[in-house]
Structure 1
């Protein structure tokens, strides 16, 4: 991985940033981070244990090399026992890194074909089930606790499927990755799991890429995990350096936070095609770490790179590319227009190990500069609690709490985020309002510096992704605004924290649908479809509680057709 001083572009903010950097030339922040000095982030003693118990990731490139033989021996064992598929059952930090490794490295011949399940959408579960042979599949139950409702539901579903085939030996088709002393560790022993990998307890989920959570799935697809870790070790050694001029991760963290203080708080990733899924992981890391106490730096990934005049002045671009690909031609005009930027050149795909560590350290520095605790997620629990309340209501009443739409037709329904919204009041007096008027009323609330977050409680497919990208492009081109897409419920463990705990700059578009199929969850009184709808309702309620600007759109049973209608209506509303 190559990063030099020339790769840091300060743009129109050069005088301000250079002054900031000068103050950090002989800083002791990196040294204090490695000594686990909690006062880097918070001075209050109540934070001491909370922060110190989340810094185990700092030495993982070294400590996990000692575990590589254990992992590789296990991989050899399962390959020899006829396993051909592996499915990660996880959410958030436990599922992001495996997905990035699979998309980046692919599956080596003779290793296991890996799938990642982090959605409660019934169709998503069906798609994975139809893509594997359960008799030849190893299920990886990944969770710090094991009590997360999504992971518990995934386990219940696929354990029952394995039990139908293997009876009392069903547990041999499962392994667990979890913390010591957890519910999942106990359950894995009771059910006779093939193996349980006990992860260090002092690592938060989003900082766990280089732990068992990321390395076990990576090894199963044939990634050379020792090489990956050695690459991360090289970056780790540089991160020990106190001088900002020789420690690029330190510099990146200071730069991002300095720019955010100047209103440039949309950190936008531009990635080579082969490594574009790295954006998923980085998005969770930065959003969930910095989005709290009404502060934060919004990571933007997956946007189509546009011309300079399609962006607002709140953008900081990070361009990561493989050496063989060279720098993206669309990036250079952004430099000429004085947008701040950082270029990172990767020698090969194994620089991904160093890239994980680089951004973990840079994000920790961002937290220090923002004076927040980057290792907790105080607002994530809100949506979980709201989901539980909705599920309790459903189990008692066999229906969801009533919510009246203000506009729509038989297939498309729109729900307001605020009961006192002018159109909501009008709808109560006159009946339904036109879809176009509802959308315009929502988008009229936009102010400079806001971002649009599309929260899609849908099954992610190529067609759906293409349509949602069209919606992103419409919003960006009309407002020069940053846009994000999150698929529910996985984004609840990612950008969901930023949505509620970060700055009040979000324009939230929640999209739900009517599921064509459903899947029962063994031992529960609700299905996956009901769970997904409850999560959407709980998240919507949480945004309302924070007085966020939000609109909810139901696109009916034909998702792609409904999205096309919505795109058409947005175009009409924004003429």
Structure 2
């Protein structure tokens, strides 16, 4: 399936009918694919001038295919068949959806939770590590590289022969990896931002090594590009962009749901693309990833727009209120990237910068340097410590009362953000808290696994409209892992990341309730019992 199609109804249809003819007249699509940096105004021009390489990624990336296939074959002959990807944001989310949708195994290590790190450090005899980072300075990725380097050496494995690097040419990581003699260093196009990098080396190298037919992936993307560059009112990228950023009044909560499309995790990839690209300067649209039974799907709220991913055959059905899209995986990726370029134009923002991502990183660095003692809990209820300022807690001493107090701060047009700094592989049941809070509030609820959401919706939570209330969940662990050459452990790192982000949210006057589980199993069970009873 390589075609692209979209159905829109209601306010989304009105937005398409209003904005697309003008975009066609202005030749927005062809200018975008010609990499015209003036499309988003003078303030965005400098950034856009070095961020539009994604429009030709499918063609530019083609020479990578034989290199990746040759390396995969070499590894197979050596008995290396398991691949771990250390990356964050676009460096991890794109390969995750590509491999999961193709049914091939790739361990995506985009966490600093010690329990998840421990799971990655298994079966080393058959494992190679792919380290993906534009610069190499991302703390999560560098920490993973360090711990694998040591683990390979301790297992008697030639560590450099098992490490593959994807980075920008001339980056500090590019130089260091070549000097270290790592197995292979792939360079990506430096004129592509991380969240637009799905069809560059960042998406292709780990996916191809894991077993995906990346040549077919690029074929479908090139076919889609031919359609998406046309100044035509049937251009699906223009239509989707108008629906996402052009409704009036703006439906700024975009509920993303897979309702039959043959993909796994596409909405998680789109979540980062939308949130980090649009959530800034007090504006933007918030992606809300849900499953097919979510309360948001039947919401009649005027600020909610449902975008459904469907199988191509389902496009013949009568469209419900909202938007339906269908197409190939790589075609839809490219279409969503075009749509974000369009919505940025309509919202009046630069879709290529992320001014608030660095703030949480800086706060984390400061906390790690200072090694502060944890702040005392305001109260302890069972296996859960409760933290928050007095104005928020209002004297609450139970988890139920603290949650009720947080939700009482939810504005009429607001949303709830659940942020779980946890091993997402070991505790998937924690996500059920999301649906319970959505039922309780009647409002959209996002769920993010920390720290990966910091490279995704984290930008929107701090730079977008001040509409959210935030529930942060952290946990003690009996399993910690040292980071070689660094004076802190993974447990200390993830704790500092949670503390740092909470501090930055508080600085932006966002209400934050912090729950720390002193025992993971007991604390999760307690939360799952409390949430439905709110």
- Matched with 1:493 is 455
**Secondary structure of residue in 2 paired with 1:413:** strand
State the alpha-carbon separation in 2 of the partners of residues 476 and 414 from structure 1: 21
Q: 1:353 to 1:40 in 2, by over 3 A?
A: same
Displacement, 1:65?
A: 1.6
State the alpha-carbon separation in 2 of the partners of residues 461 and 422 from structure 1: 31
Q: 1:197 to 1:523 in 2, by over 3 A?
A: same
Asked if 1:344 is matched to 2:325, the reply is yes
Displacement, 1:16?
A: 5.9
Asked if 1:467 is matched to 2:457, the reply is no
**Secondary structure of residue in 2 paired with 1:65:** coil
- Within-5 A mapping of 1:221-240: 221-240=210-229
Asked if 1:9 is matched to 2:8, the reply is yes
TM-score of the superposed pair, with normalisation by structure 1: 0.87
- Matched with 2:60 is 63
Larger mean CA deviation between 307-316 and 268-277 belongs to 307-316
Q: Is residue 84–residue 137 contact of structure 1 (8 Å, CA) maintained in 2?
A: yes
Displacement, 1:566?
A: 2.4
Aligned length: 531
Deviations 1:285-335 (A, max 9, x none): 1111111111111111134434664453322122212347x4799xx7x82
Q: Is residue 311–residue 482 contact of structure 1 (8 Å, CA) maintained in 2?
A: no
- Within-5 A mapping of 1:282-301: 282-301=270-289
Match of 1:76 among 73, 76, 83: 73
In the alignment, structure 2 segments of 5+ residues that lack a partner are none
**Secondary structure of residue in 1 paired with 2:186:** strand
Match of 2:418 among 454, 465, 475: 454
Larger mean CA deviation between 74-83 and 134-143 belongs to 74-83
Displacement, 1:211?
A: 0.6
- Matched with 2:524 is 563
Q: Is residue 393–residue 406 contact of structure 2 (8 Å, CA) maintained in 1?
A: no
Match of 2:244 among 256, 281, 297: 256
**Secondary structure of residue in 2 paired with 1:30:** helix
Asked if 1:97 is matched to 2:98, the reply is no
Q: 1:210 to 1:25 in 2, by over 3 A?
A: closer
Displacement, 1:18?
A: 2.9
Asked if 1:50 is matched to 2:65, the reply is no
Asked if 1:550 is matched to 2:516, the reply is no
Q: Is residue 221–residue 331 contact of structure 2 (8 Å, CA) maintained in 1?
A: yes
State the alpha-carbon separation in 2 of the partners of residues 43 and 116 from structure 1: 38
Displacement, 1:15?
A: 4.9
In the alignment, structure 1 segments of 5+ residues that lack a partner are 108-112, 395-399
Q: 1:29 to 1:323 in 2, by over 3 A?
A: closer
- Matched with 1:387 is 364
**What is the root-mean-square deviation of aligned Cα atoms in Å?**
2.2
State the alpha-carbon separation in 2 of the partners of residues 238 and 256 from structure 1: 19
- Within-5 A mapping of 1:40-439: 40-44=39-43, 47-107=44-104, 113-130=105-122, 133-166=123-156, 169-243=158-232, 245-259=233-247, 261-271=248-258, 272=260, 274-306=262-294, 309-310=298-299, 312-323=301-312, 326=314, 335=320, 339-341=321-323, 343-346=324-327, 351-394=328-371, 400-409=372-381, 411-416=383-388, 418-421=389-392, 423=394, 427=395, 433-439=397-403
**Secondary structure of residue in 1 paired with 2:166:** strand
State the alpha-carbon separation in 1 of the partners of residues 192 and 3 from structure 2: 28
Displacement, 1:225?
A: 1.3
State the alpha-carbon separation in 2 of the partners of residues 328 and 125 from structure 1: 45
